[in-house]
Structure 1
Amino acid sequence: MTCFSPKFMAFCAALACLSGQAPADTAQGAHVSIELNALEPIEDACRISFLVQNGHDTDIEQAVYEAVLFDTEGRVDRLTLFDFGALPAARPRVRQFLVPGLSCADLGRLLINGVETCTGDGIPADACTDGLELQSRADVEVLG
């Protein structure tokens, strides 16, 4: 089925996302999406779970993002790197990070400050940043 009208393109993109396929011809183009999916307190740490999808036609061999964690008062708590590892093309992946010394309840915002590493055969230099889509299912705002 071919998508022609903007409404039909949006419908096809939604169907592709539901089926686990990245929409190849959306208005935004190929991009990476990162969703803050869950926060889980673990003893003296916070486990942060992300749902990540590489919407490019080519695998990303390694994606490392610099993140800034803010407390609920808006102060910087820490700057850290999240290594999402390999991101196969058009496949969702869940990545979890245990942040020691962080109470999940004290996390107010998360800023994706930039990309530290983005490698892969034939991927554009800006593959991990151009059109980066950020979302949150938690009560924590994600910025980029």
Structure 2
Amino acid sequence: MMQGTRGMMRAVRGIGMLAGIALTLTMTGAVAQESGTKGAPLKIELNRLEPAGEACRTYMLVDNGRGPALKSLKVDLFAFDTEGVAQKRLAVELGPLQEKKTVVRLFDFTGLACPKVGRILLNDVLACEGGDASRETCLERIETATKTPAAFDR
């Protein structure tokens, strides 16, 4: 009987160890999936607007701090006036973006005075290249913010 009890105890310990290993593997997979770069946010901030002759110079802070490198990130932007009327449309290349890097990109909305800009809309992602990126996955990753009086959203 003593022999049977020891064997049973070993079997129970073995099952316990297997359950612990399985739980560890499951949790490791969940953490890896959650922290994976595929869904990492791509933060784009309207950081500054300044007059540049007949244009409004726009400073965009692009934070790819947790994401994979992108060869190209081309976005479609609309500038609206303070009355909410669309004024200018502009396609802007924000790439290339290095992995885990933040950059500032400048571009001008020609023929538009900065005080007249009430909102900038990220209308769409026109191109997104790098790794397994696509227009749709890049658009899903983008989070917008602003440090200006003008709203910036998608």
Quickly name the TM-score band, shorter chain normalised. Answer: 0.7 to 0.9
Q: Quick one: which of 52, 56, 65 aligns to 2:62?
A: 52
Q: CA deviation at 1:125?
A: 5.2
Q: Structure 1 regions of 5+ residues with no counterpart? A: 1-23
- 1:119 maps to which of 129, 140, 143: 129
What does 1:37-116 correspond to in 2, within 5 Å? 37-116=47-126
Using the TM superposition, give the Cα deviation of residue 57 of structure 1 relative to its aligned residue in structure 2, in angstroms: 4.1
**Alpha-carbon displacement from aligned partner over 1:18-62 (angstroms, at most 9, x marks no partner):** xxxxxx839xx4121100000010111110001001245421000
Amino acid in the other structure paired with 1:107? V
Map Cα deviations across residues 4-26 of structure 1 (whole Å, 9 max, x no partner): xxxxxxxxxxxxxxxxxxxx839
User: Sequence identity, in percent?
Assistant: 32
Matched with 1:30 is 40
User: Partners in 1 of 2:103 and 2:150 — Cα distance?
Assistant: 20
Q: Does 1:142 align with 2:152?
A: yes
Using the size of structure 2 for normalisation, the TM-score is 0.71
Runs of 4+ in 1 over 4 A off after TM superposition: none
What letter is aligned with 2:130?
A: G
Q: Which has the higher helix share?
A: 2
Length, aligned pairs only: 119
Partner of 2:142: 132
Partners of 1:58 and 1:122 within 8 A in 2: no
Q: Secondary structure at the match of 1:73?
A: coil
Q: Deviations over 1:75-108 (max 9, x none)?
A: 0102211111201111000000022111000000
* RMSD over equivalenced CA pairs, Å: 1.8
- Higher strand proportion: 1
> Considering only CA atoms, is the larger Rg found in Structure 1 or Structure 2?
2
